[in-house]
Amino acid sequence: MNPLDQIPLLAILAMCVVFQALFIEAGYRYGQRQQAAGVKAQLAQVRAIMGASLGLLAFMLAFSFSMAQQHFEERTRAYMMEVSAIDSAYRGADMLQADARSAAQDLLIRFAKLRLRTTEAARKSDIDGVIEMIRESERIHDLLWSVAESSMEGGGGEDTGIFAQSVLSMINAHDARLQSALFNRVSPVIWITLAIMALLAMLVMGYQAGLTGTRSSLATLTLAIAFSAVMMLITDLDRPNMTLFRMNQQLMVELENRMEQSVPDLPYESRR
Residue 5 lies in a domain: no
Report CA-CA distances (Å) from 186 to 4, 55, 95, 110.
11, 21, 44, 33
Domain that holds residue 195: 36-262
CA distance 100 to 119: 29
Q: Which residue has the higher pLDDT, 101 or 157?
A: 101
pLDDT band of residue 270 (cuts 50, 70, 90) is very low
Q: Residue 257: pLDDT above 70? A: yes
Number of domain units in the chain: 1
Residue 25 lies in a domain: no
Are the CB atoms for 166 and 88 separated by under 8 Å? yes
Q: What is the pTM of this model?
A: 0.77
**Each residue of 192-249: pLDDT tens digit?**
999 999 999 999 999 988 888 877 888 888 988 999 999 999 998 888 777 777 777 8
Residue 181 lies in a domain: yes
What pLDDT was estimated at residue 37?
Answer: 61
The amino acid at 84: S
Report CA-CA distances (Å) from 202 to 51, 141, 221.
11, 52, 10
Residue 10 lies in a domain: no
Residue 215 host element (H or E) = none
Residue 29 lies in a domain: no
Residue 19 lies in a domain: no
If one counts every other C-beta atom within 10 angstroms of the C-beta of residue 59, the result is 11
Residue 50 lies in a domain: yes
**Each residue of 168-195: pLDDT tens digit?**
999 999 998 888 877 888 888 999 999 9
Residue 2 lies in a domain: no
Per residue in 72-99, is it b (16+ CB within 10 Å) or e — as a string? bebbeebbebbbbbbbbbbbbbbbbeee
What pLDDT was estimated at residue 113?
Answer: 92
**Each residue of 137-175: pLDDT tens digit?**
999 999 999 988 887 775 555 567 788 889 999 999 999
Q: Residue 18: pLDDT above 50? A: yes
Are the CB atoms for 185 and 238 separated by under 8 Å? yes
